[in-house]
Chains A and B, each alone.
Chain A
Amino acid sequence: MNVLVIEDDRESAEFIGKVLSEAGHQVDIAFDGERGLELARAGSFDALVVDRMLPEKDGLTLVQEFRDAGGASPALFLTALSEVEHRVEGLRAGADDYLSKPFAPAELVARVEALGRRTPNESPVTHLRAGELEMDLLARKVSRAGQRIDLQPREFRLLEYLMRHAGQVVTRRMLLEKVWDYHFDPQTNVIDVHVSRLRGKIDKDFDEPLLHTVRGAGYRLQA
């Protein structure tokens, strides 16, 4: 993926750049808002990582102007502020995701990769497939190698999210936010238990596991 990082703090910018490069992505860096907007318009990036507090032009305005000018690259806001109000504000300005500092590198990589997969202007998908696993979004049916699997509604949504991001790492926080729409950290391992239940249903009777645990990061559905 081609990623543009717009962050004024050089050390953070370089850290983010390093993390994303190591994950196999092509990274460009801008240290202020004006330059960032210029680059974002000129190139076609698969994702933008934008700090909210920037010199010259703040992140919120940057993304807004970028969107108003027809820029389509998905954007992830980075910020030291984590409150709901800020998150909502950022999403309203046209950002696609939101991550508060400090963050685990795996979390950043997972979220950036999740952004890159988005294809906003295509017709809606009705079927998802990952190896032998098939999901019919309209009939709300799941099968593996032709064998029907019964899922609870929430398990269905969890699997849907994992399948939409098949091959990518998905963190626990991403699951809690995207599947349950909660933005706090439960102290107990609630997500792990949900995932292990789901794994019990889709992997139990098969030799090849599909749902993998990525140590220190989260999960990955991989055929």
Chain B
Amino acid sequence: MKLWGVRLPPLARTTTFRLTTFYVVLTFLYTLALIGFIYSTTIGYARVENRKRIDSEIDSILLAYEDGGLSRVSQSLLERAAAPQRYFLYQLQTPSGIKLSGDLSAMPPGDYPGEVEFEIDVRRPGGSEFTIDVAGRVVNLGTEAQLLVGYDISNQGIMTNRITNAIYIAGGAGLLIAIMGGIWISRSVARRAQHLADTAEKVMGGDLTARARTRRTDDEFDRLAERLNAMLDRLQALVRSSRHTGDAIAHDLRSPLSRMRNRLENALSSPDPDLSVSDVIEQTIREVDGVLATFNAILRLSRLDAQSEMRMERTDLGEVVEELSDLFEPAAEYEGLEFRSESTRATQVLGDREMIAQALANLIDNAIKYTPEGGAISVSARRGDDNMVELMVKDTGFGIPETERERAKQRFVRMDSARTLPGSGLGLALVDAVAMVHRGEFQLLDGDGPPDRPGLKAVLRLPRA
């Protein structure tokens, strides 16, 4: 996978991998701490207990030594060895190594006095011989002798081994799972990131229809993918509309220009006796004005598209409705139309007053043009749902069929019924663009008339300030 000829970073350089590594290290440290804790509470505890037992046994023998010397100690050891329950091993010998009494043939080699651990073979009264582990301590009895007291820790040793093994196995398995899980998560995250990168690359390659998959889990990647897709939708719509605009400009400007050219050419080569030169020129000037008006409309639209030079200010749409009604009412009545307007309170928006007024003027213009004599037009501004302000222009004309409504908002599209009337086909496109820059919406709906002549209800909804 290459992007502009540069290799994408390998797995090891991804954030996910680094996080996984960090997590594995944490797990490892945690396991170590756990082992230490378990060790100290089990084996460590047992060792301390052993030492205490041995110490108290030694203490009692030392008491005997202080009481009656070596002979008293030997006596005591014999008594202890004869006891029915034996917990300890004893060995008493001179510092030079001559055994005085005890269970062992000789002291295990070592540096005494001090602690010692060793194994010895013992024979049970039954006859079987086995090995036991012994922990013990050697103390000096004056300068006469050395005494070893040992304690059988064979059973503890087995327990210790088991616990230690269990800890190692659990720790090892934990680490293994952490590593594998890390790699798996890292890979799956990397795959999803890669998918987004692939989608972006496809789009760069010119395929504007490419979209990122979502898993419908609404996680971060899904949301990222949705944003990306929404962005691509908008981009695609813009590209489509600018392509369409380009074609339409070519068409809409070329036809009046060629008409003008033909007329001028004709007036020059074979003058029509019924048409004076000044008539021809007047016609041509009118047509040039039409072309200029279209140009101005295109410029306005591209200004809206670029969202530059907008003068956003608090604008009361109720006031805009009143002013424009005042401007248009006589024209509507002149065309034999009843004109009503109303506005409620709280209709302020943050917007470009001139642009909004232009959009509303376009809608009223349309209503006047396309409503037959005897009809009615109503214009209103009111507070709508969801904190929006609604500008509405309703007429009793023929309306626009539902299937045509989206198309009607496109640039340079003129409904068949409108072909014979003057207009650039940019009026509704401008309203739509005004809605877009103000993060509002523009809808064309059926009016309140009967099904065969429903009228048109144009609604421009802008967020309330």
Indicate if the CB atoms of A187 and B327 lie closer than 8 Å: no
Contact segment of A27-35, A81-89, A135-143: A81-89
Cβ contact within 8 Å between B365 and A186:
yes
Q: What's the minimum C-beta distance from A175 to chain B, rounded to whole angstroms?
A: 11
**CB<8 Å pairs between A and B, sample of 19:** A84-B354, A85-B311, A102-B292, A182-B357, A184-B354, A184-B358, A185-B296, A186-B327, A187-B365, A187-B423, A188-B335, A188-B365, A188-B368, A188-B369, A189-B331, A189-B334, A193-B330, A193-B331, A193-B333
B354/A183 in contact, CB under 8 A: yes
Min CB–CB distance A169 → chain B (angstroms) = 17
Residues of B within 8 A of A193 (CB): 330-331, 333-334
* Other-chain residue from B289, B331, B354, B369 in contact with A190 (beta carbon distance below 8 A): B331
Within 8 A of A (CB), among B285-318: 289, 292-293, 296, 299, 303, 309, 311
Q: A83-B309, A84-B354 are in contact. Are A182 and B423 (CB under 8 A)?
A: no
Please give, as numbers and ranges, the residues of chain B lying within 8 Å of A84 by CB-CB distance.
309, 311, 354
Q: Which parts of A124-172 form the interface with B (CB within 8 Å)?
A: 154
A62-89 interface code vs B (CB 8 A; 1 in, 0 out): 0000000000000000000011110000
B65 within 8 Å of A (CB atoms): no
**Contact mask for chain A residues 181-210; partner B; CB cutoff 8 A; 1 contact, 0 none:** 011111111100110110000000000000
Total interface residues on B, using CB and 8 Å? Answer: 27
Q: Is the CB of A85 within 8 A of B309?
A: yes
Counting contact residues on chain A (CB < 8 A from B), the size range is 20 to 34
**CB-based nearest B residue for A103:** B292
Do A154 and B368 contact each other (CB < 8 Å), given the known contacts A82-B299, A184-B358, A184-B361?
Answer: no
Q: How far is the CA of A154 from the CA of B324 in the complex (A)?
A: 12
Q: Quick check: A190 and B328 within 8 Å, CB to CB?
A: yes
List A residues at the B interface (Cβ < 8 Å). 82-85, 102, 104, 154, 180, 182-190, 193-194, 196-197
A188 in complex: contacting residue of B289, B323, B331, B357, CB < 8 Å: B331
A197 to B333, CA, bound (A): 11
Question: Which single residue of chain B is at the shortest CB-CB distance from A152?
Answer: B326
Q: Which chain A residues lie closer than 8 Å to B327 at the CB level?
A: 180, 182, 186, 190, 194
Task: Say how far B346's CB is from chain A's closest CB, in angstroms.
Answer: 24
Contact B309 A187 (CB under 8 A): no
User: For the complex, what is the distance from the CA of A197 to the CA of B335, rounded to whole Å?
Assistant: 14
User: Is B422 positioned at the interface, with any CB of A under 8 Å from its CB?
Assistant: yes
Question: In the bound complex, how far is the Cα of B331 from the Cα of A196, in angstroms?
Answer: 10
Contacting A186 at CB < 8 Å: which of B289, B292, B335, B361? B361
A180 to B20 CA separation, bound complex (whole angstroms): 68
